[in-house]
Amino acid sequence: MTRLWTIACREYCSLFRIPLGWVVVALFLALSGAVFSGRGLQPGQPATMRPFFEIWWTLLVIVAPAISMRLFSDELRSGTIEPLLTAPVAEAVVVLGKYAAAVMFLITLLAPTVAYVALLEALSRPDYGPILAGYLGILLLGMLYLSVGCLASSLTSSQTLAFLGTFFALFLVEILALVAAPVAPPVVRSFLYALSVDQRMSDFARGLIDMKHVVFFLVASAWFLALASLALESRRWR
């Protein structure tokens, strides 16, 4: 457990020792601030974070791969993976440590947006149910996307490939649900809808915390992380 924390801390700190971390934080905050003030914070509008959350789901398809792309690819390219995996640490611990760092970074991105909630509170009386549920939804969605990115990153030493692979995989699932599902046979359609996060996210945005959705995100994340761990171990049988 201490080793997991050690790896997570090193990874998290290293994100801020390179420009990538700061750039992602700055760009994201600028964009979400613009969306919030432009669409959410208007006279006569309900005091809700909904527009903010909606832009977030879309943004995560780009932001999550940007965070996760370097997790393993960077180490595979520079060779630092070798001293790391020859230390007495199991592969699964390395994967979980790095994943934890990525999730912590996502939380860091989200943390300043609590100021928006404070702003809403100052101006009117917001409904806290949908806000809390929305944050939880974003966190869960982010965890799923980051785990997909984690797997992609463990498969290649190229950060670009890891980013694009993750981005297109996430994008494709949503596009399929949007475009292919209405014309697909019922069996395929329900499968595509099940994979899509769109429906699940609008439930969260309405303030509905459905355990079905929570379990879906957690189990899917765990599944991708297990695959990433397996990918790291695969050098043993390749």
List interacting residues with other proteins (CB under 8 A).
2-3, 6-7, 10, 14, 17-18, 78-90, 235-238
Least gap, CB of 180 to other proteins (angstroms): 38
Least gap, CB of 14 to other proteins (angstroms): 5
Least gap, CB of 153 to other proteins (angstroms): 16
Of 82 and 127, nearer to other proteins (C-beta) is: 82
Spell out the residues 6+ positions from residue 23 whose beta carbon is closer than 8 angstroms to its own.
Answer: none
Nearest-angstrom CA–CA distance, 93 and 5: 9
Q: What are the distances in angstroms from CA 201 to CA 33, 40, 51, 100, 230?
A: 21, 18, 13, 22, 30
Least gap, CB of 228 to other proteins (angstroms): 18
Cβ contact 214:140 at 8 Å: yes
Of 49 and 96, nearer to other proteins (C-beta) is: 96
Least gap, CB of 78 to other proteins (angstroms): 5
Spell out the residues 6+ positions from residue 200 whose beta carbon is closer than 8 angstroms to its own.
Answer: 137, 210, 213, 216, 217
CA atoms within 13 A on the CB side of 115: 10
Of 1 and 183, nearer to other proteins (C-beta) is: 1
Phi-psi region of 207 (alpha: psi -120 to 50; beta: other; left: phi over 0): left
The b/e string for 157-193 (b: 16+ C-beta within 10 A; e otherwise) is bebeebbebbbebbeebbebbeeebeebeeeeeeebe
Of 6 and 48, nearer to other proteins (C-beta) is: 6
Of 14 and 196, nearer to other proteins (C-beta) is: 14
Least gap, CB of 235 to other proteins (angstroms): 7
Of 86 and 122, nearer to other proteins (C-beta) is: 86
